[in-house]
Chain A
Amino acid sequence: MKKQLIDLLKENVLLIFATVLILFLFSLIFVPKIKAFLGLQKEIKAQQTKIDKLSNKLNELNSYSKADLQSNLDLFIKVLPVEKDFYPIMTNVKNIFSQEELSLLDFQFNLGQVSTQSAQKNKKTNTENFFSFKLSAFGNIENFEKAVVRLENSIPLLSIDSLKIQNESSSASAILNNCTGALSLKSYYMPLSVSLGQVDKDLPKISGSLKSFLDKYSAYEYPVEAIYPAEGIIVGKENPFSGY
């Protein structure tokens, strides 16, 4: 019997060797390969998702006209300038008050640090980037009301912090004819980000709000003559109170 077994093993030595080799290869190479294959499949799936995302982004970017985008940004830069832009504000106030027959008595800017290079934007929404200014004027309360409405519907964006109107003469009428108004205002700015966008990041979804914003702010008042002098802003060259 023993002899028969030995003979049997001798007869099948090739099969035994092949089976051992296959099992050895299976455990040593094939199992890790299976794992690698599954990992590869996962990677391909992730890659495919990324490709879809990038393709969508590319299609979306291709659908925009550069001229339209630029004109939209130009408008929003007028609404929220990149730096403390007091020149259009001053021109706007001057125009509005002059047209509403209000005499500007006093005008005081508090610009603070002039260079906005140092104004680092570190928050997504930042309502702290502003400079304040005060003004006082003389005129009719009705005209003050009109001026306030126009100021609040003008760009660059500003907000009236406080307002005080004082009657200068005793009038029997409820309407103040000769009154002095003191306004404290804030004008906002926002520096441009140093780096914008990343290839892998999604594009912002602004199409919904963009239309309403464009409609709203393109109707706002912007000083036509707010064109900067070629050599830059020369403070004090033009008297903002001229014409009063």
Chain B
Amino acid sequence: MKEINLINTQRNKLFGFYQKVRIIKTIIMGLDLLLILVMGLVFLFYSISAKKLAANESKMRLIKEEINKLNENESILIATNERIINIEAITKASSPKADLFSLIKLFFVPGFSLTSLEVSSGKSSSIVGTCVDTQCLFNLNSKAEELKEKKFFSEFSIDNTSRKDSDPYEIKISLKQ
């Protein structure tokens, strides 16, 4: 008959329990130490960062002071820029009239005589003149077609052609650049 040693069994059980407790204790202590280490490191980095922030703040203040010393230069630069923007806007909005003169002169075919010239705001203009004969009228029309073909202007129309007795032909032209 086999014997059952109760004391040994109990001792073994207790030994296993204490073994487990020791392992758990070691793990808890390790975790505690790890948490303390992490906290310490974070506090260290935090204080370093806070110092860096303060240093940056003072560096920024110094740069700003330097910039303030040059505020006259900055003001001049900004005022110049504002003017350039406005000058660009003005020149874009206005159409130069000098170009129109050279364009209108192209209509001066032989026999044509200019009576008046009107350039309104924008790019439209009207020419009133006289042509001595039908050949001149034909030449003027051909010239206009040629110039329109070359895209010198976008619109061209002969608004009115009239003749009184044997006077030259009176002609009114409207054109748009």
Q: Which residues of A contact B (CB under 8 A)?
A: 4, 8, 12, 15, 18-19, 22-23, 25-26, 30, 33-34, 36-37, 40-41, 43-44, 47-48, 50-51, 54-55, 57-58, 61-62, 64, 66, 69-70, 72-73, 76-77, 79-80, 124-127, 141, 144-145, 148-149, 152, 157, 159-167, 171-176, 186, 188, 190, 192-193, 196-197, 199, 203-204, 206, 209-210, 213, 217
* Additional pairs, 20, CB under 8 Å, beyond known A125-B88, A193-B82: A37-B46, A44-B53, A47-B60, A54-B64, A61-B73, A61-B74, A64-B73, A76-B80, A148-B97, A148-B98, A152-B96, A157-B90, A165-B116, A172-B113, A174-B114, A196-B78, A197-B77, A203-B78, A210-B80, A213-B84
Name the contact of B113 in the complex, choosing from A19, A149, A174 (C-beta under 8 A). Answer: A174
Binding site for A on B (CB under 8 A): 14, 17, 21, 25, 28-29, 31-32, 35-36, 38-39, 42-43, 45-46, 49-50, 52-53, 56-57, 59-60, 63-64, 66-68, 70-91, 93-94, 96-98, 101-102, 108, 112-121, 129
Main secondary structure of the interface of A (DSSP, over half): helix
> How far is it, in angstroms, between the C-alpha of A104 and the C-alpha of B43 when the chains are bound?
85
Q: Are B101 and A48 neighbours in the complex by a CB distance under 8 Å?
A: no
Contact between chains at A33 and B73 (CB < 8 Å): no
| Chain A residues within 8 Å of B70, by CB | 58, 61-62
**A41 to B, closest residue via Cβ:** B49
Residues of A within 8 A of B85 (CB): 124-125
Q: Which of chain A's residues have a CB closer than 8 A to the CB of B35?
A: 22-23, 26
Asked if residues B64 and A166 are in contact (CB atoms below 8 Å), the reply is: no
Chain A residues whose C-beta falls within 8 Å of the C-beta of B50 in the assembled complex: 40
Task: Tell me the complex Cα distance, A189–B49, Å.
Answer: 52
Contact B108 A174 (CB under 8 A): yes
B118 x A33 contact (CB < 8 A): no
Bound form: Cα–Cα A171–B130 in Å: 10
Across the interface, do A40 and B97 meet the contact criterion of CB distance under 8 Å? no
